[in-house]
A and B are shown apart, each in its own frame.
Chain A
């Protein structure tokens, strides 16, 4: 079985700072990580490979330095890393990104065998859109399985897959055909630590590096800024609130008195509150 996992290298957003005057992101020195959501996808792929045999190819699109994330993924246990990098991809929105990645998945299929499953994370932590997974599925006409909590069964002979999927208000058990695209829900598995052998292999491995042309993209007008229907017109900082909190006096008053004070203030700004609370209390 062949599985492709799409990952993205993202800035460690816990450490992002915004320049107070220019409103630009201060990227210098911000470490990059594999998008945390993608790790659950990678782990699920490795789990399936260990169970059913086969190979896991990790694919990322990004600047040349994104190869670091591929090496990390190999270090966790993936078999092959493919970096898709080209200035034509700069400025891609999710539609253009899904186009480029879909083309690369196609090329991966031609080169090493058509994948039965393509995985992505649920979303990224920098874009947060959750749109690239569905985009790839649609472009490759794969069955789309988003927010998957568990892969229950893969039947390679009959080419079916059964998954549990998080839906509104409950969990769906879905059965569909492979090839399929799965976006994996977070916290659904325990991401393994690679063996020392894997880590060494990851550091030394020869990565596959494609540009638009070698990935088989003939029409670059679908890529980058030109292939992106959306345009970012303005970036700005959120408006701070004009007034700060009114501090309730604490001093050496006892907790009960302070609590009474808080309740009085609350009832004063929300006159209907007390009656509403009494109604709920009465309903018990």
Chain B
């Protein structure tokens, strides 16, 4: 979380060791904040359960979920899901004041849970909600928080080593919270793989009272306006993503990207300059300051492959890059390359896929 860690200073501090103060020694177990809204768990929480499971096993402790919401009965599905994705125990806080996310009541409840049950690690999704909550909780507890981690591990002394990109992704740094507990970290959606689900796996549950009164909470939600096109949000979770960059040369040519995505039943997006030029909405930006994606197939047309773009797509199983420049950096991490004009090639690829799919559909 360091605002801007300076490598030389970091190096000189690397040997620094601090003894964990006595009052923190009883802090134990790995927690995942289960982001639960509109009756559903955000997938990033499941990804974190997968990651948290590994940390807990390494430490020989339990993996625990914390889920907050308004209606206890409706939350049972979330509890079961948390168990099936690896939680040994779930703390449930159900209270009408927690029906819609608001910073104040959520911060109070999370802080209260921590002070009561004393976890050593808390992981949260780096979503709009998770970031809003994590910063407030960490400040209230006066502990360390590392944002947007790309790798989590336990070091030899049993403390959390949280690695994140810094300086626009050109470097990585590993951050520790040495003498405070809990150690907190956020991870963006899709950065970690989705773990398998063990149907029927069961755990324990502890109900915790919120002790909140609505009149005590100053912020009121007047309205919630759901996004019109809920598809937009699906980019991060699409199996197939087609994206365009400045190499497409005009906003009209984005249609070629959309057409291919449609034939493949996938989503489409683009590099950051397309947002800055107003060619597409920010929701569709892929990369470090946009969405991290993890599709089975990523097709990048006219994208150079700058580091900030790369970090958002590296989790893809197969990357196909189309670029006129055979030395474009994207070919350093794509699996297949086509050195050609994307504006001509995209329609050909769309036609070829459409043909194969319809022929084989008739055959089957």
Contacts and interface: CB of A to CB of B under 8 A. Distances in A.
Contact of B37 (A134, A139, A168, A281): A168
A269 B335 contact: yes
B220 A259 contact: no
A263 interface: yes
B301 to A, nearest CB: 12
Interface in B5-21: 5-11, 13-14, 16
B178 interface: yes
Interface stretch (B62-70, B134-142, B192-200, B202-210): B134-142
A25 B167 contact: yes
Given A235-B166, A237-B171, A282 B223 contact: no
Contacts of B71: none
A147 B336 contact: no
B167 A18 contact: yes
Given A235-B173, A269-B318, A172 B224 contact: yes
A173 B5 contact: no
B219 A175 contact: yes
B222 A234 contact: no
A260 B345 CA distance: 11
B265 A281 contact: yes
Contacts, number: 316
**Which secondary structure dominates where chain B touches chain A?**
mixed
Contacts of B136: 134, 137-138, 144
Given A233-B175, A235-B166, A95 B222 contact: no
Interface in B330-364: 330-340, 344-345, 347-349, 351-353, 356-358, 360-361, 364
A25 B7 contact: yes
Contact of B338 (A169, A171, A262): A262
A276 B264 CA distance: 10
Interface range, B side: 35 or more
Contacts of B73: none
B213 interface: no
Given A16-B168, A131-B135, A231 B221 contact: no
Contacts of A233: 10, 13-14, 161, 174-176
B121 interface: no
A248 B1 CA distance: 42
Contact of A172 (B104, B180, B221, B349): B221
A168 B129 contact: yes
Interface in B106-136: 107, 127-129, 131-132, 134-136
A95 B103 CA distance: 18
A95 B132 CA distance: 15
A126 B353 CA distance: 42
A145 B136 CA distance: 11
A13 interface: yes
A93 interface: yes
Contacts of B144: 93, 95, 228-230
B170 A16 contact: yes
Given A93-B3, A170-B226, A258-B348, A245 B335 contact: yes
A24 B331 contact: no
Interface in A112-168: 124-135, 137-139, 143-147, 162, 166-168
A270 interface: yes
Given A94-B1, A234-B10, A246-B336, A175 B175 contact: no
Nearest to A248: B338
Given A228-B2, A230-B177, A24 B8 contact: yes
Contact of B222 (A132, A173, A265): A173
Contact of A277 (B8, B264, B332, B334): B264
Given A231-B176, A232-B10, A233-B10, A262 B332 contact: no
B101 interface: yes
Contact of B172 (A8, A92, A236, A263): A236
A207 B213 CA distance: 45
Nearest to B17: A231
B230 interface: yes
Q: Which of B2, B16, B330, B332 has the most A CB atoms < 10 Å from its CB?
A: B2
Interface of B: 1-11, 13-14, 16, 35, 37-38, 42, 100-104, 107, 127-129, 131-132, 134-136, 138-140, 142-148, 161, 165-180, 218-227, 230, 233, 239, 263-265, 282, 288-289, 296-297, 307, 311, 317-321, 326, 330-340, 344-345, 347-349, 351-353, 356-358, 360-361, 364
23 contacts: A18-B171, A95-B138, A124-B4, A129-B3, A130-B131, A131-B1, A131-B145, A169-B226, A171-B227, A229-B142, A233-B161, A234-B10, A238-B307, A245-B319, A245-B336, A255-B348, A263-B349, A263-B352, A263-B353, A269-B318, A277-B265, A281-B357, A282-B361
Given A16-B168, A234-B173, A248-B338, 14 more contacts: A24-B8, A127-B3, A135-B138, A162-B222, A168-B35, A168-B127, A169-B233, A172-B221, A172-B223, A231-B177, A245-B337, A250-B340, A255-B348, A266-B336
Interface of A: 8, 10, 13, 16-18, 23-25, 91-95, 97-98, 124-135, 137-139, 143-147, 162, 166-177, 186-187, 225, 228-238, 240-241, 244-248, 250, 254-256, 258-260, 262-263, 265-266, 269-270, 273-274, 276-278, 280-283
